[in-house]
Amino acid sequence: MSTGLELLAELPDSYVYIHPLKLGALAAVFTLWTMFAAWVDKDTVAVNTFRVLWNLIVLGSGTAALLGALLVPLYAIGFPGFIVINLAVAVAYILHRNRLVKEADTVLTLAHFRRVREEGVFGKKKVKEVKERVRLTAFNRKVVPVPEDEAEREQYRLAQDLFFSGLWRRAVSIEVAPAGPHSAKISYHIDGMPYDGDTLARPEAEALVQYVKKLAGLNLEERRKPQKGEIMAAIGDEKHKVIVRTDGSTAGEKLTIRVLHNESEFKVPDLGLNPKQLELAQATKEQSKGLILLSAPSGCGLTTTIYSFTRNHDRFLQNVQTVEYETEIGLDNVTQNLFNPADTTTFAERLLKIVRSDPDIIVLPDLREREAAAIACKAASEKQKVYVAIPGLDVFDALRRWATLVGDKSLVAKSLLAVTNQRLVRVLCSQCKQAYKPDPAMMRKLNLPEDRALHRPPEPQLDKRGNTIVCAACQGTGYVGRTGVFEWLAIDDGLRDVIRRSTSMADIQNYAQKKGGLGLQSQALLKVLEGATSIQEVARSIRGEGGEPSTGMAAALPAAQKRAQPKPQAKPGTGPAKAGGKP
């Protein structure tokens, strides 16, 4: 009995086991920690840093510190430890994020305290006016509205500036790439020529890249492996399919945007073939079997050409199939078979399976395997029409490479219908091109009529204030669009016999040149006489293997004539694009 009374005597007078003030202090600090964690989650997106990593750090350290504060017997140790751990993480994050932003956007710095003093604790920044100049449609086919969130509005504004500038300038590709630890460079490719754009602060560029990746449905956390997606961009009624690519490197993530213009609808008459070549193309189209070998150096529009030849056929009545490593442009009513090199099946096996399915037309935009080349030749010689694209400097170089790849001259000769080679030249702007009288000596060297006037881009024009007048049609480049220059080698029975018996490519070349009509330079000069392009553009585009103007062109263009080409009026798009004007 006495033992029980002694135990009751040891019970505390109060039923409260935790001091209310201590519990309140812990709850207050815990509330501040949750507010900080929520801010970090949002701020990592705004400053474009590692959101998942910092969330794990903040949540992990905060949870561990809270358990320590509750489980450590001595409150004087547990509670201060909880504060110190979370304060250390907060300081680390703030120092990290302040290095990524401009001084005006830092927190807990002198600049921040000045802003608080001027605007008050709850003062708000002026919200920048953001307008939709380019209608963007994300990967899920939903039009992207102007965001309400301030950080997303800034990303949206950067994307609007980028796409509007690129579309207004008629760029076929736009690139945002790191240019050092603190900046990134925007560049454009317009009519095959590179042009520098604006420089962005590194945080702005990274935020822009992340936003475009989000629109394209790419993995935002993946910054090293290549990724690819699609969106749509439109100004008014002009809609463009946009291919978005990202690639990581030690310097940072690079964004490449490919804008598809009207080349996605081209057919053979749109390519730039001359009337005689168009007749030959029509003749090969009517044949039910045979192989057409299309060639060009890299970057000269070969993919556009082979797709255009594909569209030239009646794809409703004929079974047309492709085998491709990668597809950027869809072909209506065409079965586009994608080949993955990682598959166990080889390209040749995939091609053989398609040949056995008996299509009318087979299109091979990229053929790399010797076995596949032999299969394509055999199919073309027996029952099917086959189009093959390979790299080549001219028709004879392409034929040499193809014969080497196939490994059977007789099979090559039996299957071939034609070999083509091409370059792209810029088309002079019809609104501002200028006629001039060329040097007669130059015209004689090029076998052109001495009395013909030629055209070139205009000399720079200035207004009354001395500002450059930029042509609204070409944005000051002097050119609008590009056209193809082709040489076409038709394979007749005589040439087939020469191919079978030839011991060198010189035998084939001598026979073919007797027939005439070959040579890229002569075909390009016809476009000069028509006023479609300039002599300087031909000299730039029609180059030999060493990168110099092709035979006869260098000698015909004296230094003075080369200097006669006017400089561009201004950087394309300068002024109106920055000011937000419309073309």
- Same domain for 177 and 98, yes or no, is no
Reduced to 3 states (helix: H, G, I; strand: E, B; else coil), residue 50 is coil
213 in any annotated domain: yes
Q: What is the mean pLDDT of residues 171-182?
A: 90
d(Cα 430, Cα 359) in Å, to the nearest integer?
A: 44
d(Cα 109, Cα 359) in Å, to the nearest integer?
A: 70
383 in any annotated domain: yes
157 in any annotated domain: yes
- Same domain for 205 and 273, yes or no, is no
- Same domain for 227 and 282, yes or no, is no
| CATH number for the domain that contains residue 171 | 3.30.450.90
Domain range for residue 147?
135-260
Confidence band of 45 (pLDDT split at 50, 70, 90): confident
Is the Cβ–Cβ distance between 394 and 423 less than 8 Å?
no
Among 191-205, 229-243, 543-557, the range scoring the smallest mean pLDDT is: 543-557
Where among 119, 151, 179 does a domain terminate? Answer: 119
Quote the pLDDT of residue 136.
95
Which residue has better confidence, 563 or 583? 563
Where among 56, 91, 119 does a domain terminate? Answer: 119
Is the Cβ–Cβ distance between 481 and 426 less than 8 Å?
yes
d(Cα 107, Cα 300) in Å, to the nearest integer?
A: 51
Q: How are strands ordered across the β-sheet holding 183-190?
A: 135-137, 227-235, 238-247, 254-260, 173-178, 183-190, 193-201
Give the best-scoring range by mean pLDDT among 38-52, 117-131, 181-195: 181-195
Question: Would the pTM count as exceeding 0.75?
Answer: no
The letter for the amino acid at 329 is I
d(Cα 244, Cα 59) in Å, to the nearest integer?
A: 34
> What average pLDDT does the structure give for the chain?
84
What residue spans of 344-450 are helical by DSSP H? Answer: 347-356, 370-382, 395-406, 409-415, 440-445
Q: What is the pLDDT of residues 530-558, one digit of tens each?
A: 999 999 999 998 864 444 455 455 555 54
- Same domain for 239 and 298, yes or no, is no
Number of domains the chain contains: 3
Where among 85, 119, 153 does a domain terminate? Answer: 119
